[in-house]
Amino acid sequence: MNRISWDQYFMAQSHLLALRSTCTRLTVGATIVRDKRIIAGGYNGSIAGGTHCIDEGCYVIDNHCVRTVHAEMNALLQCAKFGVPTRDAEIYVTHFPCLQCCKSIIQSGIKVVYYAKDYKNHPYALELFSQAGVKVEQVELEEMIIDLKTSEKIDFVGSLLQELKENGTSESKLRSLHEQANKLFTSYL
């Protein structure tokens, strides 16, 4: 069995956190890591106990939702709230950090930013990361590691293959389709 890489593991965690987002415009997750240990996580959403965008829509000023606390900020604030140092840590984010989050990441002492998707990558953010000696690297999530419907998918493909067999599909074609299905699902088994 092949183990998932650390980068993929932490990026998958960020994608899971993004599933908690209450933003209707973009779901983002962030995971802060030090010494291969998760020290904090955050997703974009409203203040604790506040009105959420999914409930009443975004509160947009100058094309930016002012109701939302960004995922990176929520993760950094979680560290501050519980007294967890961020110096020399790494952050994994589903999307390239905005300019304000970039500055907060730098000020927190984080030394590496991994992001999965480009998103309005501001040139000044890249310049600031460079000036501060913060390494920035794109690490796309290679595959969805967690799939809660794998068994159902395998059963569905099996039933399709059975139906094709009953409808007279040749043995060679069925064997080829079965092999393709096995390749798709091998990483899950």
Catalytic residues: 72
Alpha-carbon span 22 to 5, nearest angstrom:
29
Distance CA 82, CA 137 (A): 28
Gap between the terminal Cα atoms of the chain: 9
Using CA atoms, how far residue 69 sits from 10, 130, 137, in Å, is 21, 25, 23
Distances (CA, A) of 75 to 116, 129, 135, 144, 156: 17, 18, 19, 22, 39
Q: Which residue has the tokens 């067999």?
A: 165
Measuring CA to CA, which residue among 116, 118, 97 is closest to residue 108?
97
186 Cβ partners below 8 Å, 6+ apart? none
